[in-house]
Structure 1
Amino acid sequence: MKTESGKIVLGSRTLEKLAYDDCLAHPAWIEPDEWLGGADIENGLHLISHQPAGRLHSQLETAPASRLRKKNGREIASLNPADATRFGIKQAQTIRMWNSRGQCLATAELTESVRPGVIFLPTGAWFTPMGNAGLDISGNPTSSPWMCQRRNSGKGARHIHASSASSRTMVT
């Protein structure tokens, strides 16, 4: 293992010396900036961006296998029917998701398999902005300038690189 001791590290002397307030030397819960347990959950949904079944990231985005998994030419955003009722969303309706960092359109799919308070939107649609407002009409949660550009929004990512944090993004 590529750790300071070559073993699993539960407490890092290296991180302890760095004394980061947002990346402790030992395992600890540090509340993310945005999450389902946050203060503003009533007004939004927790966006989870998963890998799509019809392509790898954006590769083959316009290929038949990828296009078959879209509705109305857009990515499908899956959400719980209770949330759809709360926001006045109908099955197969075009919806706009946004936060302070950006916005996109997607086609709603209502399903009980998604937890209330969560919305799923796959990654990899090619960024297709409309006009100067930056509204992405294809449904891409990870293209600039969009809502998941707050990569690594968990408080540990300011000092140390980690994976994408689209699973920590709140949208309306």
Structure 2
Amino acid sequence: MSYPQYGPEGQPYPAPAGPAYSTPPPARQQLPVTTLVLGVVCLLLLVLAGIGLGLYVNERRRHNATEALLRDRDTTITETESRADDLDARLNNTEDQLSEITGERDALLPCMRRAQEIFDALRRDDDDDLGTALEMGITACAEAEEAVDS
């Protein structure tokens, strides 16, 4: 082992190059156990935060999709109710028209029967039945005309 030599100013002379005079590398310092544990805990927290974020994003996406389906369903229900109301109004109108037409038919039916009796009397060439059928036909058709026109 050699001792360093000092010059006139008190500074050591540089060591001569070579393997005998090289300085050893500094010793590697080991991390304290608490630092290692703290690093592992931080890593675990980071992984858990990533998993939590992934779950949140997935649930949010599913929630948005569900809301879109509900909006579509509500729109479909509204449109269907509107169409049902329109059809109901048309049905009521049709029922009213049917009732009116049925009433007119019922009012015209006696007049038509009397007309048939007139034709039957003409075909048989029976003057007595023809006169009676004409009188009854005129009365029945006048009543039918009043019922239909009112």
- TM norm structure 2: 0.19
> Which protein has greater RCO, CA pairs closer than 8 Å, 6+ apart?
1
- TM-score of the pair, normalised by structure 1: 0.18
Query: Where is the helix percentage greater, Structure 1 or Structure 2?
Result: 2
Compare CA radii of gyration and give the structure with the larger one: 2
